[in-house]
Amino acid sequence: MSVSVSTPLLSASRLVKRFGDFVAVGGIDVEVQQGESFGFLGPNGAGKSSTMRMIGCVSPVTEGELRIFGLDPATHGKQIRARLGVVPQMDQLDEQLSVEDNLILYGRYFDIPRAECKRRAKELLEFVQLTDRAKSSVEPLSGGMKRRVTIARSLINEPELLLLDEPTTGLDPQARHVLWDRLYRLKQRGVTLVLTTHYMDEAEQLCDRLVVMDQGKIVAMGSPRQLIQEHSPREVLELRYSAGTNEQRALEVDGIGHRREVLPDRVLIYADDGEAALADVHARGSRPESVLVRRSSLEDVFLRLTGRSLVD
């Protein structure tokens, strides 16, 4: 079964998830097209995982409408799940089984014949570069390797839509880049990716389009480039003063650039030209302990939209 180009692969309108009185997702509208790579960016507790669990057809929708492959999770959960791949926040691998057996057993849950599971497991382990670990047990593997096993496992049913809940949280930089590379290849193969993250670099790397979520609501939507252009000047000047004096020293640089943001550890100045802003700072006689001029990022967008940083 294939979805025609005009129908979105995933659509949610006024989607709500409540746990008792607590509103985890407060009415969001989202559409994801086939082949797209779509992200939910937000801090912990923004409602990203609750949204993902509704899309994964394991957590029932409280209110609103959700369609995946044009089907309703309430009535077609099984059929939808059969076509999804899920990479959960925590790995959920069976540590007593070998890497290969984890994949084969999982494939059996999809009613894929054992021989076929074996063939796919071999291919997938090659894809995530773990062929040499096929017979090893999962337990001693590194965090990044386990993550790759989980991704391989999620692909065993050749899903049309892959859901990734914080795919690289807790991994070291090198492991993250290996993972990003693999996910990028999947995207090139035409697999639709929907992911959550609280890393702006991850969103910039992987997402064609994303929504910024905060406290269960969508506060902005667009491509990473669009969002940065719309919500933040081109460059950011970061100033670090000695500890505890940021508030006070920030007054010295008042009026420089478009906007100023005082964080506990640094002062940010948003400007079209960071170097020029720095020259102004020096001209006023302000002497920060260190300075950095960088391009503005999604982190700045988030800060602008919510007044808080992404990673606390």
Partner 1 sequence: MVGSFLQPLLYLLGMGLGVGALVDRGDRSEQLLDGLTYFQFLAPGLLATTAMMVCANEALWPVMGGFKWMRGFHAQAATPLSPGEVAGGLALWHGTKALISVCGVALVLVLFAETRSFGILLAVPFGALTGLAFATPLSAWSSTRQRDTSFPAINRFVIMPLFLFGGAFYPIEQLPDWMESVAEFTPLWHGVELCRGAVHGRLEFGSAVVHVAVLASVALVGWLVARVTFARRLAA
Find the binding residues for partner 1 in span 193-222 (CB under 8 A). Answer: none
Residue type, 176: R
User: Is residue 93 a contact partner of residue 149, using CB atoms and an 8 Å limit?
Assistant: yes
Query: Stretches 89-97, 141-149, 269-277, 295-303: which one binds partner 1 (CB under 8 A)?
Result: 89-97
Q: Is 68 in the site for partner 1 (CB under 8 A)?
A: no
Query: Stretches 29-37, 81-89, 241-249, 287-295: which one binds partner 1 (CB under 8 A)?
Result: 81-89
Q: Is 167 in the site for partner 1 (CB under 8 A)?
A: no
Q: Is 78 in the site for partner 1 (CB under 8 A)?
A: yes
Q: Which residue blocks in the chain are alpha helix, DSSP H?
A: 48-55, 73-82, 99-109, 114-127, 143-154, 173-188, 200-206, 224-231, 246-250, 274-283, 298-306
Q: Is 59 in the site for partner 1 (CB under 8 A)?
A: yes
Contacting residue, 23, 82, 262, 263, with partner 1 by CB under 8 A: 82
Contacting residue, 29, 72, 94, 252, with partner 1 by CB under 8 A: 94
Look at the alpha carbons of 53, 55, 56, 58 in this order and tell me if their dihedral is positive or negative: positive
Residues contacting partner 1: total by CB under 8 A = 23
Rounded Cα distance, 231 and 166, in Å: 24
User: Is residue 48 a contact partner of residue 196, using CB atoms and an 8 Å limit?
Assistant: yes
Contacting residue, 35, 110, 217, 261, with partner 1 by CB under 8 A: 110
Contacting residue, 47, 56, 224, 288, with partner 1 by CB under 8 A: 56
CA atoms within 13 A on the CB side of 149: 32
Q: Is 74 in the site for partner 1 (CB under 8 A)?
A: no
Rounded Cα distance, 58 and 36, in Å: 23
Residues 123, 126, 130: CA angle, nearest 5 degrees: 130
Q: Is 23 in the site for partner 1 (CB under 8 A)?
A: no
Return residues touching partner 1 (CB under 8 A): 19, 56, 58-60, 77-79, 81-82, 84, 86, 88, 90, 92-95, 106, 109-111, 157
